[in-house]
A = this chain, B = another copy of it.
Amino acid sequence: MDEKRYQRKIYLEDKPRAEALREILDYASLSPETELIPISDALGRITAEPIFANVSMPHYHASAMDGIAVNAEETYEAHEQRPLHLKKGEQFVYVDTGNAIPQHFNAVIMIENVQILDNNTIEIIEPATPWQHIRPIGEDIVQEEMLFPQGHQLRPADLGALLAAQITMVPVAKKPLVTIIPTGNELIQADASLAAGKIIEFNGTVFANYIKEWGGNPDLKEIVRDEPENIKKALIDAVETSDIVVINAGSSAGSKDYTVHILAELGTVFTHGVATRPGKPVILGEINGKIVVGVPGYPVSAYLALEWFVRPLVCQYLQVPVPKRQTLQVKLGRRIVSTMGAEDFIRMNIGYVNGQFIANPLTRAAGVTMSLVRADGLLVIPPELLGYEQGDTVEIELLRPLEEIKSAIVFSGSHDLTIDLLSSQLKRERTDMKIVSSHVGSMAGVMAIRKGEAHVAGIHLLDPETKEYNVSYVKKLLAGQEVVLYPFLKRTQGWIVPKGNPLEVTGVAELAQTQADYANRQKGAGTRILFDLLLKEQGLTPEQINGYDREMFSHLSVAAEVKGNERAVGLGIYPAAKAMNLEFIPVADESYDLLMTKAFFESDKGRWLQTVIQSDAFKAEVDKIGGYKVVSQAEPVFL
């Protein structure tokens, strides 16, 4: 290994994002090519030029009713007291809706108002006015009128209008070809077998699908290994065929970050580093007049960089504006700190509780894909601000339809695997409802109810004095608030250990003795409170436990930590051990209850939730996991 490479230091710029974008948009001479396509393929495509009607619609004077066509002047005498007879052929003809009105006729009388006397004669008792019940030529579309300007995205009804105007082929902007080059020695395809140090390549698929959604034509290439020659060749090939090139990873200033050097050699580097967090290590440049965007490897940074720079390029090519997201005013549940001089992009959860939108930041780690999946919105903090205080009202860009956010049941508190089942079962019954849960631990769950940030919290808090669960905590922490404690589950906590229990752990004593790697839970988690009580009972201190200070945020995380480490031990619930094929040694049975505001408990959503919990279908699902008992005929405690 050549260590010299570590000595080279490049510092990234902190260029304002808008300025970096302006430069590439000004440089890019992306003007769309036009292609003529059949209407059947045109949904969602963008018109490349104004479209004018080929024919009028209707293209003849058409009857708007089933009835008879007449000459209005010849009906003026008709009156209830003085019925008028008309002769077929000369004085009237039968017409159906859509039939052409023969010349010399200029009105239609509805069949309901016609008395048929014989095969050739009818009677009417009311005159017609000229042009009644006739759709004149061009009522809908007039030949040569402009149906759509250029830059219009075609919707289903638009396709109907085109056909009606006898346009069967429509000129649309060709989709810009965006080549995506994933690079990295550590990357493998998702179907390859995993080994430590190997990472599944998935950014490319994410990019390709965003580009598809934005109206581009993505071309996802094979993974390129981190060798300058490989990358150079891939870039030269890509600019040859594509309109825009995206190269993933290698955009920072590390030892294997070759992109910026290659770009400087083959073309021009406009920008290396933008004043944003995350997403700073972006490269913008050109080779042979084609824009090349180098995006960071971490998925969140990568996504943001793609949206900041590639989306506007695609839109410029298509000559459409970059769509703006719906925004929402929300109240911040926590203080948020931001870097001075850089824009901060923070993924947020939004809960709609007690008629208020409350937003909390998700993890800010740029490597956490699930934070994009879970985010309801994006908070953009401008460079000149240092952040916001708890309780501030801020504007958030929505990443999900508002309706979906408003209808979600916000679940907080302790993690239990049955909550996912509950969420699924609820959605099966009511497609417009879902549970959005965050795993923050029992104590934080109680606090979320107190602050009005959640509808429901799952809690299992053991009182060391009374040895009872939950009630004393709620009484103390939520005094004066109207809440309900709904008995939900009995479940078993136990030691989660590798198969065969190599350290022969049966209690905390062995943990200390063997200096096992203990996988602890976060402060405020019910399981941690239980562990602390076990320690205390044995007269042990946290310092005697190896790993006590590191925190896992869920039972599954604990099990994942135990898996693959022969010296590891965790405390958690049975299904987590089972899911990871680990051994489980029972320690204690506990009550996992649902804490709800009384308002939610009595609401439509709250009642549905209880119905689903008490349903046979849900209980059967829970039984399948094992280690649980749903409390039947639960008697809620009003506090």
- Please report A residues at the B interface, Cβ cutoff 8 Å: 1, 3, 6-7, 9, 39-40, 43, 49-50, 55-60, 62, 64, 66, 94, 96-100, 111-112, 114, 116, 119, 130-131, 135-151, 155-161, 163-164, 166-168, 184, 186, 190-191, 194, 196-197, 199-203, 205-210, 212-213, 254-256, 297, 299, 303, 315-316, 319-321, 323-324, 326, 365, 367-370, 372-373, 401-403, 407, 420-421, 423-424, 427-428, 431-432, 434, 549-550, 554, 556-557, 559-561, 563-564, 576, 579-580
Contact = CB atoms under 8 A, between A and B. Distances in A.
A64 B557 contact: no
Nearest to A98: B186
Contact of A194 (B59, B167, B321): B59
Contact of A424 (B50, B144, B324, B564): B50
Contacts of A316: 431
A174 B6 CA distance: 52
Contacts of A7: 116
Contacts of A407: 321
A112 to B, nearest CB: 7
Nearest to A95: B197
B140 A368 contact: yes
Nearest to A68: B6
Contact of A323 (B403, B424, B554, B559): B403
A140 B564 CA distance: 18
A560 B137 contact: yes
Given A256-B96, A326-B326, A205 B373 contact: no
A98 B579 CA distance: 26
Contact of A206 (B131, B143, B159, B560): B159
B190 A160 contact: no
B369 A164 contact: yes
B580 A144 contact: yes
B150 A424 contact: yes
Contacts of A580: 143-144
A156 B557 contact: no
A160 B205 contact: yes
A160 B94 contact: no
A561 B60 CA distance: 9
Contacts of A190: 39, 163, 166-168
A86 B99 CA distance: 94
Given A205-B160, A424-B50, A315 B431 contact: yes
26 contacts: A6-B66, A6-B114, A7-B116, A9-B112, A50-B420, A50-B421, A60-B197, A62-B199, A96-B255, A100-B196, A136-B561, A137-B560, A142-B554, A143-B556, A143-B560, A143-B579, A144-B556, A144-B579, A145-B420, A145-B554, A146-B424, A157-B303, A159-B206, A319-B431, A321-B432, A323-B403
